[in-house]
Chain A
Amino acid sequence: MRSATLTGALALALLAGLPAPAVAQHDDATRQAFLDQDTPIQVLYNQDNPSLALWFESMKQSATKPELPPPIGAEVGVGWTGVSHSTSATDGLALSGGSFNGNFVIFSVQVPFFEHNGTRYELTTARRTAGPTVRLYVDGSRRIESTYVVPVVGGNATITQIYYLGNRPGDAPGFFKPWIRYSGPAGTYNFYFRFDFDVRGSTGDRSQDFRDVAGRDYWVPQPNEYSLVSAAPFYDDNLKFRTWDETGANRLNSTVVGFAPFAADGATFYVVNYSGVEIEGPPATLVNGGVIQTVDASVPVGNPTIGSDLVHWYRATRATTSGVVGPDIEVANRNPRKCFVEIDKLSSVNFPPVNVAHNGCVPNPSMESIYAPHITVNVQRDQTNIVDPHPGVDFTNAELHAMMTANWNYRTFQQDVGSWYAWIGIVTTQGGTLGIMFDWHLGGGSDPNSVGREGCAVFHDNFLGYAEPTRSKALLRTQTHELGHVFNLEHGDGSTSGSAPWTCTEGWTIMNQTGSISPFPDAIRYFFGPAEATKLNTWHDPYIMPGGVPFTTHPVDR
């Protein structure tokens, strides 16, 4: 029988909205299914064609994804252009590169060796039996594969390096999965993944490691620093680090790597300082029970291939005879967070406008443009004719909950790797309330997925007292504001700047309450301010993504 104390503690955890213990959500089968889900449509390169020793192609996304609006004040990060991936025929090395704020940055990954029962085996060209092969898949992704057969004690180990390079619509440039598929004799395997990140040249790199979501620490950006990444949202636990060029006057070359470790039996993250340059950051215990260690001037094996003073190593340990292991990485992207937003409406109301003309803003502000510096919002205005059982009569929360759970058609639709999902309902009225958000974390039951911050509603009729264009401005603002709550933003995050005559970039930001904005609507500012942007840009995924931590939970609360 559960003791009263334990039950009480559980109740307190429930009350506080504390997160459940982190549980890795991917297993071997899930990863294998991911690897097996597509059939390649074209082999771009293989070892039989040495003339393609270096395969290099700019990402589609660079050409098809429009550049985001220019920076607004100091709130918006700097941009990446020309992101590309490549591989080498000789050493199983995969590279990502691109220009970051005008400076070329390159990032490489390889698995140069592994250990079996304490003995180190190098993955040399002589041991490679297949690949490297680069295959293009129908979804636009590339996979680079090389297979090695290595005699170890007890038999042969077959090791396949698989570098998945995201290039699908919505994938972040630099979305990267360096995985190992292995099989071999029984024993303990340690796979060493080597990451080399060169900012504006091969020297002068510095690095800082952040604690993970369960590590109770997070990055507070310094002036002119920007978080540019989110790690794969499938994981409850992830690690981020940033690397910058210390010669940069104001760290504008700073970038961030999101690092989501696969649920290995153990994982260790190393920062290796090859040239004695100071390494910043708090070494700490984290990552699925592993530790971050600072290894000073102690090179495990394999000098930097590209030539760098600073290298990160990730060691994944498995004690099974076969499986898939390795981290997911996102790197080199200014705006990687993305959310598919389904908007449904009652038959008796209209959708809020797609955009509005306001204070000379160019282009007209829209929900997409407001979120663009922080989260790529992909809006799908879906159902237009949901039954209104009682036009003009208040909706109860029970009815709204039923409406949401019956109509979120795209919730289980796989938009693209890493995309979040949120639902917005446009309904009539509920007293004087302008909008609501559901935040149930009930752990099962009739709430279909027990996912908090999963949807919101806007009460359209409560804006009918406004004449146009104020009504449209207010509706668009409230819709954007409610989605902000879904992303865990609070009213207190709002800010204000400027004074009359109001311009596009002055006024009260999105998360302020309507009643704070004066004069309304002239002083609406269709942007997020510093506090809002800091959360959206830098907080770890679970604190922002729909379905993450309960509303108002802060990293420092944990």
Chain B
Amino acid sequence: MHARNLLVLALLAGAVAAQGGALTLTLTAPKAEYALLEPVVLDVVLANAGKAPAEIVDELPPEFGIVRYFVRPAGGEELRFAPGVHACGAGFPVTLNPGEGRAAQARVSFASRGWVFTEPGTWTVRAVYEARGTRVESAGVAVTIRKPATPEEARAAELLRSVDAGLYLYFDGGDHLRNGISVLESVLREAPSSIQAAHARLAFGINLSRDSYLYHEHRARPAQPAIAAEHLEAALQADLAAPTRAQGTLALARCYQATKRDDEARKLLEAFVDSEDGRVERSAAVAEARALLNR
């Protein structure tokens, strides 16, 4: 969940930023609109737009609490986003030189009490960074939730009201969340072409891409990279938002490597680096892709 060091090389298309002294905090919604109960992942960038180095704490996702996120429905009251996981970083200061930035992703669609964007409409999300005496506010970014475009999308949203499914999607897995798995399997059966189904496949794929231990059953569950790859390949066919696509791409590449499909892994990673290199928001994913290429 840590943001990574990078250079801010380009303007952030579609992003809105606010000035806080020399620092700017920018939130970006990578998709123009989302299906109802489609997971929403925002890009967040803290950048130094001044001429002098600045000290920051590089813990930008909502779970760390250094950046607080606020959500407001159209015409409604703004409320603080309360994540279900609170993470403690060390909070060590890092130096942000002029022109540099740190990026991270913010999962803001599932909070400690469940789904956030529960109705179609335009919601506004803003963020406030506050650490070591520095406070920076972002401008609000619109998150548009469309009305169900197809009967499958509507059915998927209906099924995903289950908090179990939401928790599984937030965690990108969880073998112990049996109810959530069952709901997501229903989404695959009853709404296979929906964007929500793609997210279900993505979470299934990521979960199966790695070893785990079923603590409730007292047994190991080895990774199943071949099955995981099938899920991830299907998911990546859909219109996933860029942060989610990056996550799925890296997971798929690892599955390819684990199943000796090295050429496919290389092509996938090279294409990803080519398309995303230089984008501040994807710098961590690009670095990880390069590391996988060098294995």
Interface residues of A (CB under 8 A from B): 4, 7-8, 10-17, 386-390, 396-399, 401-403, 405-407, 431-447, 452, 478, 481-482, 485, 490-491, 513-516, 550-552
Task: Please state if A389 and B92 are interface contacts (CB–CB under 8 Å).
Answer: no
Chain A: minimal CB distance from B163 (Å): 4
Task: Please state if B211 and A389 are interface contacts (CB–CB under 8 Å).
Answer: yes
Is B14 located at the chain interface by the 8 A CB criterion? no
Q: Report the 4 A-B pairs with minimum CB-CB distance, sorted nearest first.
A: A513-B91, A515-B91, A14-B113, A406-B215
Chain A proximity mask over B174-188: 1 for CB below 8 Å, otherwise 0: 111111100000000
**B interface, over-half SS:** loop
Chain A proximity mask over B186-214: 1 for CB below 8 Å, otherwise 0: 00000000000000000000010011111
Q: Which residues of B contact A444 (CB under 8 A)?
A: 163
Task: Please state if A438 and B84 are interface contacts (CB–CB under 8 Å).
Answer: yes
Contacts known (A398-B207, A446-B176, A515-B57); A452 close to B112, Cβ less than 8 A? yes
Q: Which residues of B contact A439 (CB under 8 A)?
A: 82-86, 112
Q: Which residues of B contact A435 (CB under 8 A)?
A: 87-88
Task: Please state if A402 and B214 are interface contacts (CB–CB under 8 Å).
Answer: yes
Task: Please state if A445 and B115 are interface contacts (CB–CB under 8 Å).
Answer: no
- Considering the complex, give the chain A residue whose CB is closest to the CB of B1: A431
Which B residues from 75 to 131 make CB contacts under 8 A with A?
76-77, 79-93, 111-119
- Considering the complex, give the chain B residue whose CB is closest to the CB of A400: B85
Contacts known (A389-B211, A433-B87, A447-B167); A402 close to B216, Cβ less than 8 A? yes
Chain B: minimal CB distance from A549 (Å): 10
Task: Please state if A550 and B163 are interface contacts (CB–CB under 8 Å).
Answer: no
Q: Which of A387, A442, A514 is packed against the most chain B CB atoms within 10 Å? A: A442
Is B33 located at the chain interface by the 8 A CB criterion? no
Contacts known (A387-B213, A446-B178); A16 close to B91, Cβ less than 8 A? no
Chain A: minimal CB distance from B237 (Å): 25
Additional 4 contacts, C-beta under 8 A, given A432-B90, A445-B162: A15-B116, A398-B176, A402-B215, A514-B91
Chain A: minimal CB distance from B174 (Å): 4
Q: Which of B71, B82, B93, B115 is packed against the most chain A CB atoms within 10 Å? A: B82
Name B114's contact: one of A8, A403, A443 (CB within 8 Å).
A443
- Considering the complex, give the chain A residue whose CB is closest to the CB of B114: A14
Q: Which residues of B contact A390 (CB under 8 A)?
A: 210-211
A431 to B86: give the CA distance in the assembly, Å.
14
Contacts known (A406-B176, A407-B215); A17 close to B82, Cβ less than 8 A? yes
Is B39 located at the chain interface by the 8 A CB criterion? no
Is B172 located at the chain interface by the 8 A CB criterion? yes
Task: Please state if A436 and B82 are interface contacts (CB–CB under 8 Å).
Answer: no
Which B residues from 44 to 91 make CB contacts under 8 A with A?
57, 63, 65, 71, 73, 76-77, 79-91
Q: Which residues of A contact B80 (CB under 8 A)?
A: 16, 552
